[in-house]
Amino acid sequence: MYVCMCHAVTEDQVKRAIDAGADTPRQIAKGCKAGTDCGSCVRRIQALLGEHGARPCPTARLAAKLGLADPGAESEAEPDPAPVAALRVA
């Protein structure tokens, strides 16, 4: 299955990069360019990294903290007890 359509990178290629020691989307990109064009594959790359024990990126942790994470995704972040204030548009 393709992860990155822009550079024709497959899931197996990403998994091999992870097995070789890559533990961030940037390190994956250095090897195969996945995630360097339109960016739509970065979330899948992050998921693959998470499945292989890599730490989720700060954006994923923030999304989980704000309750914006995917419903089936596991979260390392603890819910913030303080309410989030609404932004006012002037």
Name the band, by pLDDT with cuts 50, 70 and 90, for residue 61: low
- In sequence order, which residues have a C-beta less than 8 Å from that of residue 85 and are 6 or more positions away? none
Q: What is the pTM of this model?
A: 0.59
- Average pLDDT for the chain: 77
Whether the per-residue pLDDT at 77 is higher than 50: the answer is no
So what's the pLDDT on residue 70? Answer: 54
pLDDT tens column, 15-57: 999 999 998 889 999 989 999 999 899 999 988 988 877 665 6
**Residue 32 near residue 13, CB atoms below 8 Å:** yes
